[in-house]
Each structure stands twice: as C-alpha cells, then as structure tokens.
Amino acid sequence: MFSLTLTNGVPSKSHFSHRTHHFNRTHHFLHSPLIKNPSSSSFSSPIRCGIRELRERIETVKNTQKITEAMKLVAAARVRRAQEAVINGRPFSQTLVEVLQDINQRLRIEDIDVPLTNVRTVKKVALVVMTGDHGLCGGFNNAVTKKAEIRIRELKSLGLDCVVISVGKKGNSFFKSRNFVHVDRFIEGGSFPTTKEAQAIADDVFALFVSEDVDKVELVYTKFVSLVKFDPVIHTLLPLSTKGEVRDVNGNCVDAMEDEFFRLTTKEGKLALERDVVDRKRGECLPLMQFEQDPVQILDAMMPLYLNSQILRGLQESLASELAARMNAMSNATENAIELKKNLSMAYNRQRQAKITGELLEIVAGAEALTPID
C-alpha cells in the first residue's frame, strides 16, 4: 500500500480516507440485518426507523397505552353498575311474563279477544335492533347487526316483509348505509337505560302491532352472560305466545330457530342458566291467585308494563354486554401497547448502541491513522 506522508510524519488525507472507508465497509457488513446471528434460532426483520422516529413512536405508544388503560378502568367501573341492573331486573320481568302467560291461558279458555295477544297470520315482521352508541368495543356492534341481517334475509326467504326499529348510533349508521330493509324509526340511546327511553320504544311497537301494520315483533339484542361471554339473541316480543304458534299464510313457523326461550337467573349470588321446556303444559292460574277485576282489564293494564320491562331489560343487557366488550377490548389494546413499546425500546437501544459503538470505532480509527507508520 502506498501512502504519501508530509514532512512532519503525519499521513496524508488520502491515506486516512482509504482506511476509514475500509473500516466503514467492514462495519456495515458485520452489522447488516442480512447477517443472521448463528446463536439465534429465529430471525425477525428489524424496525427500519431512525433514532428520532423511534423515540417519537415510543412516546406515541405510551400515550395510547394511557388512554386505553383509562378507558378500561372506566368501562370496568360502569359495567358493575350495569351488571347489577341486569341481575336485579330479571326476577321482575320473568315473574311478570309468567303471570301474563297464565292470564292469557285463562282468557283463551274463555275465548276472550285481547289485541296484544292475538296470534294472526304473519305477513310482516318488525325487528327492534339494539346496538351501542360508541365503538372501541371489539365485535359487539358487528355481531348484533350481522344477526339482524341474517334474520331479515331469513324472513324475506319466507316471503315476509320486514321493518326495523333501530336503537343505537352504530345500528343507525349501519341501516342508513344499506337499503335492503325499511327502517321505521331511528332512536339514539342514552348513557344509561331508563324507563322513559324504553317507553318511547314500547309506544312505537304498540302502535305498529295494534294497527296491524305488523303481525309479529322481535327483539334483537345482546344477551349478557358474563364479563367474557355475551351472545346476540332474538326474542319474540309480540304476540305473547308459545314457540311455534305464530305462522305465515303457508302454515310455516316464522319463529327464529334460536329464539330465546331460556332465562338467566341468579343462584347463590352467581349467574345460573335455566332452560325452559318449550312444550310444557301450562294449566290455569295458581289456586291461591284470585282476580278481583276482570282478567281482560288486568291484562290491558299489564301489557304496557310488560312491553316496557322487556325493552328495558334488552337495553340493560345490551349496555352491560357493550361495556364488558369494551373492557376486554381495551385490556387487549393495553397489552398490545406494552408489547409494542417493549419492541420499539429494544430497537431504539440497539440503534443507539450501534451509533455509539460506531462513533467510538471511528475515533479509534482516526487515532490509529494519526500514528506515524514506520
């Protein structure tokens, strides 16, 4: 190798540049991501960002983690209240349904006509679809809308018309962007279900059924089972009848195959599942139960309460399921943010260490280049 030296014995600039270029090529080859470490069993492509970009991404992920963790805590605090409302409201709604069915059975024996319990030939069905007002809750809203869409297509395959009452902003936006079904009314839910909100929906359902615009009303909502399990279900709201009794003009049953005929109750302070027998024989009212008024008057007074309680129960179940889904989704998002922050920190430390090592090696190479050659 030729080198030109000055009179004081210091190497020339061309000699320094040549040795530095040779070191940089060797250093780049040894630290190239294409060179796999023999000691590592697997290879993952590195994050290709600069140190400044990595630092900014780490700060962004930290802020996102704080947001998701806060939303998780808020949902966990609210889901407890919603769960208590669901559990406390179930005994009343179940007992009310049993009493109404007993009275309705007695009225049928006496051949008395009650509008809300009349089983007519089904030509049009109304679906009350309950969704959430906000997102960031996993597949909660998508599961309900998909359930409603499948049910609508099933009814249309039977030659029946459908009309939808949409409750919740997510459901409203879903049905507004699609024109495969007529929507009678769009309703936006509140922060927590109230009897006033349920009464507004019940009045609309009552008007549709009594005026014979629809012959059957079904409730599509999410059944709250536990904090990690909630399923979209279909519940027949009107008429008040047993499964398989409501049929179309061709005599086909129009009840959903998975129509909700099971009840979730509490047993020793815990949730328990009790499945009702669909074809059980129901006799008359209990011997100790006596009616001071005419059964028709009692039924007319209790049917609005029945509609309100069932719709309120559906709203409470949907809210509890939405909050549980959001709590789980934000928990998963927080865990993903922690894992991403860990990977970004490792990449940042590697690049920072490589930069420091490169600077030290350049200093050493420069000092060696300044050493006189014998």
Question: Catalytic residue positions?
Answer: 137
Fill in the DSSP letter of residue 137.
S
Bin 168: left if φ > 0, else alpha if -120 < ψ < 50, else beta: left
Other beta carbons within 10 angstroms of residue 277's beta carbon come to: 7
For residue 81 the two structure tokens come to 């209240």
* Residues written for the chain: 374
Helix, strand, coil content of the chain in percent (nearest 5): 55, 15, 30
Between the alpha carbon of residue 214 and those of residues 120, 220, 239, 350, the distances in Å are 10, 16, 11, 68
Cβ contact 248:123 at 8 Å: yes
Q: C-alpha 177: how far from its chain's center?
A: 20
Distance CA 54, CA 49 (A): 6
